[in-house]
């Protein structure tokens, strides 16, 4: 299935186009998640809604995304991401535009849930697209480049949403940001071509390998990814959903200032995300054991983020708070490429979207709890210290899952499919 490795790390124009389109999709996804962070801070500040209601709205989006990830992976494996992904992009354009028409919490919550359904197509689709278009030696690089979108999106989206809100009003924030995903879908349909990717060998056992969705739960590595990603995305979503709120409500900055400063941690983490992916590929390509590489980078980054966010929780000045929040996101960036390469490390192509969807189901469980719990705790204590302490504890939980519970990083599911079917739904394998 793989291309000859003599080409080294040189990508074709088409390969670059595919990776950059995935990057753009994740940027737009992040923009459409953080737009309500800016608008929501405005709503809370002007007593239009409460912090608890804002946390609920942000959480409903995440719960919808989480639940539909369970279906999105198998759907992407069945109908292929080249079809599923643009349909999801159009759906989330509609959901974002609808969010501008009402302030009634039940209706707005329904529109945020619809956004989650649309965005559920993205995360399971990306690994399959990368496997089919990027040589194996460069996949951590491709994933790390793609996942800079998680940081580039807020970097662009937070100041963009703040500027549109100040100049045009909060409703226009949703209209402007919602148009981006529709434009992406049109460009994708013009660019993507199935016959330009890596052509699979019809007699390849890797291509024939398949595992039923239910059997994926019989593996220890599945549960390690679910729990570990819970910790990873919990931290990220505290930043995505409440960083502007921390700066406005606790540090007493203006909406405009919060938009600019909220982007800073994500700008720094763009650099560390790319660095982490390049480091992982270089280490493996020079003979490093893949299990050691993944666990060292993921565990080290999550532990470092734990330390930094706890220091931020106890900082007594706005400057120190911002500095250590920036360092927290820098540490999270190092983790990104290796964490999101795990489904490709473990699963054959036919089920990689399903494995990715389960990993991100766990992650988005954390993403769903993060805004709700943070908003509730701030409403109770009128301080973000307790929420940040909990954020550090959850990051540490993620580190323990990826370092201790995760077994060998190898094609576990493929071996099962080709050689030794699982006997019993509860037999945990490495």
In DSSP notation, 28-72 reads HHHHHHHHHHHHHHHHHHTTSS-HHHHHHHHHHHHHHHHHHHHHH
Q: What is the DSSP letter of 407?
A: -
Look at residue 3 and tell me if it is in a domain: no
CB 285 within 8 A of CB 138: no
Range of the domain at 371: 9-418
Range 162-168 contact pairs with CB under 8 angstroms and sequence separation of 24 or more:
162/38, 162/255, 162/256, 162/258, 162/259, 162/260, 163/259, 165/38, 165/39, 165/42, 165/255, 166/255, 166/256
Q: Please report the pLDDT score of residue 5 as a whole number.
A: 44
Q: Give pLDDT < 50 ranges for the chain.
A: 1-7, 203, 206, 417-418, 421-428
Q: What is the pLDDT of residues 217-237, one digit of tens each?
A: 888 899 999 999 999 999 988
Look at residue 176 and tell me if it is in a domain: yes
Look at residue 197 and tell me if it is in a domain: yes
Look at residue 430 and tell me if it is in a domain: no
Look at residue 1 and tell me if it is in a domain: no
Look at residue 425 and tell me if it is in a domain: no
Look at residue 2 and tell me if it is in a domain: no
Q: Please report the pLDDT score of residue 367 as a whole number.
A: 80
User: Kindly report the CA angle at 147 between 285 and 396, in degrees rounded to 5?
Assistant: 85
Look at residue 145 and tell me if it is in a domain: yes
Q: What is the pLDDT of residues 76-113, one digit of tens each?
A: 888 888 888 999 999 988 999 998 888 888 888 899 89
| Number of domains forming the structure of the chain | 1
pTM for the predicted model, two decimal places: 0.75
**Rounded CA separation 99/102 (Å):** 7
CB 281 within 8 A of CB 142: no
CATH number of the domain encompassing residue 51: 1.20.1250.20
């Amino acid at each position: 299935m793989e291309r000859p490795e003599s080409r080294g790390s040189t990508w074709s124009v088409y390969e670059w186009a595919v990776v950059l389109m995935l990057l753009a999709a994740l940027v737009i996804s992040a923009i459409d998640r953080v737009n309500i962070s800016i608008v929501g801070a405005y709503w809370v500040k002007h007593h239009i809604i409460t912090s608890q209601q804002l946390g609920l709205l942000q959480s409903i989006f995440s719960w919808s995304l989480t639940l539909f990830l369970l279906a999105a992976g198998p759907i992407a494996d069945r109908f292929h991401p080249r079809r599923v992904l643009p349909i999801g992009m159009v759906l989330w354009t509609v959901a974002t535009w609808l969010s501008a028409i009402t302030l009634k919490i039940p209706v707005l919550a329904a529109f945020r849930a619809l956004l989650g359904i649309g965005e559920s197509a993205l995360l399971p689709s990306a690994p399959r697209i990368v496997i089919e278009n990027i040589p194996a030696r460069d996949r951590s690089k491709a994933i790390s480049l793609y996942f800079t979108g998680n940081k580039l999106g807020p970097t662009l989206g937070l100041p963009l949403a703040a500027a549109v809100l100040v100049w045009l009003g909060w409703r226009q924030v949703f209209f402007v940001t919602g148009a981006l995903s529709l434009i992406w879908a049109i460009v994708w349909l013009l660019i993507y071509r199935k016959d330009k990717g890596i052509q699979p060998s019809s007699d390849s056992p890797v291509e024939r390998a398949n595992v039923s969705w239910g059997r994926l739960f019989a593996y220890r590595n599945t549960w390690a990814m679910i729990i570990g990603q819970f910790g990873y995305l919990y931290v990220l979503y505290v930043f995505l959903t409440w960083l502007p709120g921390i700066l406005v409500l606790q540090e007493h900055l203006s909406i405009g200032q919060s938009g600019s400063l909220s982007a800073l941690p994500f700008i720094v983490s763009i650099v560390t995300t790319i660095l982490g992916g390049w480091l992982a590929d270089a280490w493996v390509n020079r003979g490093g054991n893949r299990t050691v590489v993944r666990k060292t980078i993921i565990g080290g980054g999550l532990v470092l983020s734990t330390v930094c966010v706890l220091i931020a929780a106890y900082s007594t000045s706005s400057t120190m708070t911002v500095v250590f929040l920036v360092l927290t996101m820098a540490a999270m960036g190092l983790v990104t490429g290796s964490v999101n390469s795990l489904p490709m490390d473990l699963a054959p192509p036919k089920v990689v979207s399903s494995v990715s969807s389960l990993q991100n189901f766990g992650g988005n469980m954390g993403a769903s709890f993060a805004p709700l719990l943070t908003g509730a705790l701030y409403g109770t204590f009128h301080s973000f210290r307790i929420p940040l302490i909990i954020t550090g504890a959850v990051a540490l939980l993620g580190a323990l899952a990826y370092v201790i519970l995760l077994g060998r990083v190898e094609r576990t599911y493929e071996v099962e499919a080709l050689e030794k079917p699982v006997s019993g739904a509860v037999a945990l394998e490495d």
